[in-house]
Amino acid sequence: MAKQKKQRYKTSKNKKYQSEKQNSKQSHPRKSQETVTPKANNRSINKKNHGQRKSTIEVTCTGLTSEGKGIVQWEGKQVEVAHLLPGEKAEVTVSKKGRFVKMELKRVITPSEDRANRPLSHDNEGVGCQLYHMNERAQERFKQKLIDKQMKTFGKPKPILTMEQPYYYRNKNVMTFGLDNKRQIISGLYAENSHQIIPMESSIIHDPKADEIIQTIKGMMKSFKMQPYNEDTGRGFLRHVLIRVGKKSGEIMVVLVSASSVFKGKNNFVKALRKTHPEITTILLNINDRNDSMVLGNQEKVLYGKGTITDTLCGLEFEISAKSFYQINPVQTERLYTRAIEMAELTGDQSVIDAYCGIGTIGLVASERADKVIGVELNKGAVRDAIRNSKRNGVKNARFYQGDAGEFMVQMAQRGEHVDVVFMDPPRSGSDKAFLSSLVTLKPKRIVYISCNPETQARDLNYLVKNGYKVREIQPVDMFPQTNHIECVAALDVI
């Protein structure tokens, strides 16, 4: 049954992009035949005036930033150009505002061998994918180089675990709704560092069914007289739609994020949406009347179904609420957890902590090789999910606690508790002093540190290395192909 449901997702789009590893011998159809006489300097082609100075120039890319943007030297300045690769010659538009220079890629004249075999911008499908323009081998090299550099003081990291089919992998989509300047409803992602919505109908990393449901909702809004929310005026209803897909179970959750709890025509809307998409298993209304950049608010109403979805990971079943953290790439998550648990060298008689445990995934998967597991997590709903997941999978040796992981560790250290192995998987900001200092006081034999931000991970590893640990192994995992994000696991042993 689950297999049947999963196969429904295999639309023609899934077939559009095949792994480049399978096609590596193909020629590069995008290689331009144009020849351009090399110039010593980046030169100006034409100039327009629109209040601010804007012109088109020809440039050569000399390197990459750590975010994967091309570097161009221009008028004594180093300027970043998104989607440009080292060695490439290209036409870019330049605009200047005071001392600030902005360049946007117009046309690549001489493409690099590292360029991916796809159009520069195809219906905005690469929005949010900073490495959309790089082929798979180049992405692998780029990420390996970054992680090698970031971790060099701790030893040489292992080769990054890349994904066989690095497309349509996300199990969660969040799209923002608004009006364009013709007052037409649009859905898309915010542009970098702004709240301007870039409309997009599909993405090379989204689940195609989730993208399809979002387009259906956008199409329904007019007939239901549902207005998108306007952040400036505070008027309108629909802010975002969040979709979660159980890639193995086939279950689908739709969360309508609104600015108010008054949802006129709610029953008919739900009925019409389910009629078009009978595959949706639950629909929720989340009310977010805040002014910050958080997508979800605190209030939640279940409009249809049980309010959660279930999915299978590493052979266990997990129930997931709308607000709980759940890794977005399940294929690579299984590889990440498998490596992390291997690196922990569990023997079955150890006492294990799963810090920042979310819905309990790592701890529950590791539980069969541990004497006992203690999980700690800040998000109340996620802890509820973890306890439910423990029961659901018949795990008897795991306990989950709600609270700040740092405070929890301080209390454990004060009580002088014994811990053998600690898994820690903090948010992007990394861990804090309270957590780290109590960790070294508890002195587990082994620490396995999982992180989606190598910069804060390196900072925290540095603290642990200065306080009695040595790094034994570092394993990067490509959890986020096409983007510049990297996941990394480090195993440390007490000295």
Ligand X SMILES: C[S@@+](CC[C@H](N)C(=O)[O-])C[C@H]1O[C@@H](n2cnc3c(N)ncnc32)[C@H](O)[C@@H]1O
Residues at the interface with ligand X (CB under 6 A): 325-327, 356-358, 361-362, 376-379, 382, 404-405, 425-427
Q: Is 425 annotated to bind ligand? A: yes
Q: Is 327 annotated to bind ligand? A: yes
For the bound state, the minimum distance from the C-beta of residue 435 to ligand X, rounded and expressed in Å, comes to 8
Q: How far apart are CA 272 and CA 339, in angstroms?
A: 44
Which one, of 452, 459, 456, 455, lies nearest residue 485 by Cα? 452
Q: Which residue number, 185 or 383, has a Cβ lying nearer to ligand X?
A: 383
Phi-psi region of 92 (alpha: psi -120 to 50; beta: other; left: phi over 0): beta
Which one, of 372, 338, 339, lies nearest residue 354 by Cα? 372
Q: Which two tokens stand for residue 469?
A: 């640990």
- Residue 61 a catalytic site member: no
Task: Provide the residue type at 183 as one letter.
Answer: R
For the bound state, the minimum distance from the C-beta of residue 46 to ligand X, rounded and expressed in Å, comes to 48
Q: Which residue number, 269 or 435, has a Cβ lying nearer to ligand X?
A: 435
DSSP letter assigned to residue 115: B
Residue from 61, 129, 314, 452 carrying the catalytic annotation: 452
Q: Is 411 annotated to bind ligand? A: no
Which residue has the CB atom at the shortest distance from ligand X? 358
For the bound state, the minimum distance from the C-beta of residue 425 to ligand X, rounded and expressed in Å, comes to 4
Q: Which residue number, 270 or 374, has a Cβ lying nearer to ligand X?
A: 374
Q: Which residue number, 171 or 482, has a Cβ lying nearer to ligand X?
A: 171
Q: Is 377 annotated to bind ligand? A: yes
Could you please report the per-residue DSSP string of 394-417? T--SEEEEES-HHHHHHHHHHTT-
For the bound state, the minimum distance from the C-beta of residue 316 to ligand X, rounded and expressed in Å, comes to 12
Sequence-ordered list of residues with C-beta below 8 angstroms from that of 16, at least 6 positions apart, any chain: none
3-state secondary structure of 124: coil
β-bridge pairing 398-402 and 469-477: unpaired
Which one, of 297, 367, 365, 318, lies nearest residue 337 by Cα? 365
Q: How far apart are CA 244 and CA 416, in angstroms?
A: 41
Helices and strands (H and E) in the chain: how many? 11, 22
For the bound state, the minimum distance from the C-beta of residue 337 to ligand X, rounded and expressed in Å, comes to 8
Q: Which residue number, 332 or 361, has a Cβ lying nearer to ligand X?
A: 361
Query: What are the b/e assignments for 50-67, b being 16+ CB within 10 Å?
Result: eeeebebbbbbbeebeee
User: Would you list which residues are annotated within the binding site?
Assistant: 327, 356, 377, 425
User: Would you list which residues are annotated within the binding site for S-adenosyl-L-methionine?
Assistant: 327, 356, 377, 425
**Which residues are known to be catalytic?**
452
